[in-house]
Amino acid sequence: MAIDGKCFWLSPADEDPDWQPDDKESLILYVENGPMILAAATLEPPCTLCGARLGSVSWQYDGVWLWPGDTGHYVRLHGFRLPDAFVDDVRARNYQCVAVDEIDYEKLPWPSDPA
Ligand SMILES: [Zn+2]
């Protein structure tokens, strides 16, 4: 996976079926339900592992972290692991998103070097 500031995205090396925290379902729901802040007209390529269509290219943002909209798919269906720093933050706030009233897109923690 790559972490750049408060942005992360998964890569095939993150497949880790042994990652089974007790609160995995809560973490997945958090990732899946995080506010979507940007969706492009471009479609994601189908999942390389199961061929599922993943919808539009999108990003989700919880007020602190930014992650790609297909993240939940890989964690739920393919046993990918979430970054520890992200998981720690989510647990610390009891799986609740920080309220985001207004988004300044230029100030989002975009990756400086997108994979
Ligand atoms: Zn898949």
Tens of pLDDT along 54-67? 888 899 999 899 99
Measure 50 CA to ligand 1 centroid, in angstroms. Answer: 4
Q: What average pLDDT does range 20-49 have in this prediction?
A: 92
Closest C-alpha among 77, 93, 112, 79 to residue 34: 93
Measure 52 CA to ligand 1 centroid, in angstroms. Answer: 5
Instruction: Check whether 27 has a pLDDT greater than 90.
Output: yes
Provide the percentage of residues in the chain whose pLDDT is more than 70: 97
CA angle 93, 12, 57 (to 5 degrees): 70
CA dihedral of 38, 76, 49, 82, whole degrees rounded to 10:
70
The answer to whether residues 93 and 105 touch, using CB atoms and an 8 Å cutoff, is no
Q: What average pLDDT does range 73-95 have in this prediction?
A: 96
pLDDT at 114: 55
Measure 77 CA to ligand 1 centroid, in angstroms. Answer: 6
Measure 10 CA to ligand 1 centroid, in angstroms. Answer: 13
Measure 11 CA to ligand 1 centroid, in angstroms. Answer: 13
Cα(32)–Cα(14) distance, integer angstroms: 18
Measure 102 CA to ligand 1 centroid, in angstroms. Answer: 32
Measure 46 CA to ligand 1 centroid, in angstroms. Answer: 8
